[in-house]
Amino acid sequence: MKFSELGFEDQVTEALDAMGFETPTPIQQQAIPAVMQNKDMIAVAQTGTGKTAAFVLPILNAICKRGSSDKVSTIIIVPTRELAIQIDQQIEGLSYFTNATSIAIYGGGDGKSFDAEKKALTTGADIVICTPGRFISHLNMGYFDTSGVKHFILDEADRMLDMGFNEDITRIAKKLPMERQNLLFSATMPPKIRQLSSQLLKDPITINIAISKPNEGILQAAYLVHNHQKIKLISSILTGKDHDYILVFSSRKVTVKEITKELNKVGLPAKGIHSDLNQQEREAVLLDFKNKKIKLLVATDVLSRGIDIKGINLVINYDIPNDAEDYVHRIGRTARGDNTGVALTFINSDDCYNFSKIESLIGNEVRKLALPEGFEEGPKYDTSYKKPFRGKKKFNKKKHWKPRKK
């Protein structure tokens, strides 16, 4: 199938031709016709399969057919500001030959950005891409007329529920017209996603594409390594090698700062991105990474989903993610589309059990590589040891309740 067979308006077809897009991905082939028929839909597909274009293209097509309005017609809810910005940029490219307008709305900006968002909402940008909290802030002000909304889209829905946005999403949905199209895109299908879809979607079409499996173009491998060896190992891996982009993931922002500092010490220029940076700093770092001014980026899981940067050919998991699903999303930053890439994971003695859960999820045993010459022996791959939980215990009211003394 070709994009030309999907029945797009001339303006959308012209944009696809200009960008060199000819053949839709599997998720696009299945989703686009259903969206164009105004069906509600829940679509589950692995990261890097072209989900954004699967809903953006038919929405742009609908805007071309009916013409622009003075009211917002499409609301896209996303978990992070980075994803909001990226989708807005994709819309900007795909809508070049149309009159459609869009804006990304997210927290962390100044008064000027809030005023610009207010103006877009009141004068009617066609498409609004927003994080839940910021959007609710505007709703609470009372100036946004939602009566023109025809499409309500949740992207990375599973991630939003993991981040605790369930109530916010429900609250937003109640403010929108009852008669609207609802689209839910997710990388996984846990029970809470099914529950959310039953609340929001009406007789939805369901599409499932390779749930929770890494892209086949990713070469996966792992090292069993002690924590104090990890920086030296990164240096050994990268020295003398030619990589376009390298993305190093760590679960904690404190560790991101430490890794960045240590990599710079050993002569590997790196930048870190984490929640302690303000919005301008984060955008500047990402832009420099996209423009190849930075080749080595260290990040928390804020970049593990939805960020599409072409040319990342190496992902390093400095530590094991807390959730096995996040492993799939981390390594999915490489081998985007039809490209190939490498994903390396560092496993210490405490991580073996959790990594075995990852291997169970993806249905494959990841090859364990020998450490380079000159390294002391790493830990054994002992999956029977489960690191004890050291967090706060949940308070059980029934168990601990005692009657008040009279």
Q: What is the pLDDT of residues 38-74, one digit of tens each?
A: 999 999 876 667 889 999 999 999 999 998 788 999 9
Residues 57 and 36: their CA atoms lie apart, in Å, by: 9
How high is the pLDDT of residue 133? Answer: 93
CB 292 within 8 A of CB 267: no
Give pLDDT, residue 406.
43
The pLDDT confidence band at residue 397, using thresholds 50, 70 and 90, is: very low
Domain membership flag for residue 397: no
Residues 136 and 255 in one domain: no
pLDDT in tens, 239-252: 877 777 899 999 88
Inside any domain, residue 131: yes
Mean pLDDT of 382-391: 66
180 and 231 housed in the same domain: no
Q: State the pLDDT at residue 394.
A: 43
Query: Average pLDDT, stretch 183-187?
Result: 91
Q: Are residues 137 and 261 in the same domain?
A: no
Same domain, 158 and 48: yes
Residue 238 sits in the same domain as residue 278 = yes
Instruction: Please give the pLDDT value at position 366.
Output: 96
The verdict on 204 and 223 lying in the same domain is: no
Contact 162, 187 (CB under 8 A): no
Residue 22 lies in a domain: yes
| Predicted confidence (pLDDT) at residue 391 exceeds the cutoff of 50 | no
99-158 confidence digits (pLDDT tens): 899 999 998 777 788 999 999 999 889 999 999 999 999 999 999 999 999 999 999 998
Same domain, yes or no, for 239 and 138? no
- Cβ-contact 81, 108 below 8 angstroms: yes
Task: Please check whether residues 331 and 222 belong to one and the same domain.
Answer: yes
Domain end, chosen from 209, 239, 269, is at 209
Residue 48 confidence (pLDDT)? 65
Residue 394: inside a domain: no
- 378 domain residue, yes or no: no
What is the rounded CA–CA span in Å between residue 6 and residue 2? Answer: 7
| Residues of the domain holding 269 | 218-369
Domain containing 76 — which CATH number?
Answer: 3.40.50.300
Tokens of 210: 């390779």
Nearest Cα to Cα of residue 148 among 175, 168, 129: 175
Q: What is the DSSP letter of 403?
A: P
| CA-closest candidate to residue 44, choices 130, 156, 127, 164 | 156
Determine the Cα–Cα distance for residues 51 and 97; give it in Å rounded to an integer.
Answer: 21
User: So what's the pLDDT on residue 129?
Assistant: 97
How many domains are there within the chain? 2
Q: What is the mean pLDDT of residues 197-214?
A: 84
pLDDT band at 212 (very low <50, low <70, confident <90, very high): low
Q: Which position has the token pair 């097509």?
A: 61
Do 147 and 268 reside in the same domain of the chain?
no
- Among 183, 209, 235, which residue terminates a domain? 209
Last residue of a domain, one of 209, 243, 272: 209
How high is the pLDDT of residue 392? 43
Q: Higher model confidence: residue 118 or residue 405?
A: 118
Give the residue ranges of DSSP H helices in 245-300. Answer: 253-265, 279-290
Q: Is residue 392 part of a domain?
A: no
Nearest residue to 31 via CA among 205, 210, 214:
205
140: which residues sit within 8 A by CB, 6+ positions away? none
* Confidence label for 393 from pLDDT (cuts 50, 70 and 90): very low
| Residue 384 domain-assigned (yes or no) | no
Q: What is the pLDDT of residues 311-349, one digit of tens each?
A: 899 999 999 988 787 888 899 889 876 788 999 999 999
Supply the pLDDT for residue 184: 96
Q: Of 60, 72, 177, whose CA–CA distance to 123 is shortest?
A: 72
Q: Find the DSSP H helices in 37-146.
A: 51-66, 81-94, 111-123, 132-141
pLDDT the model gives residue 335: 85
**Are 181 and 320 contained in the same domain?**
no
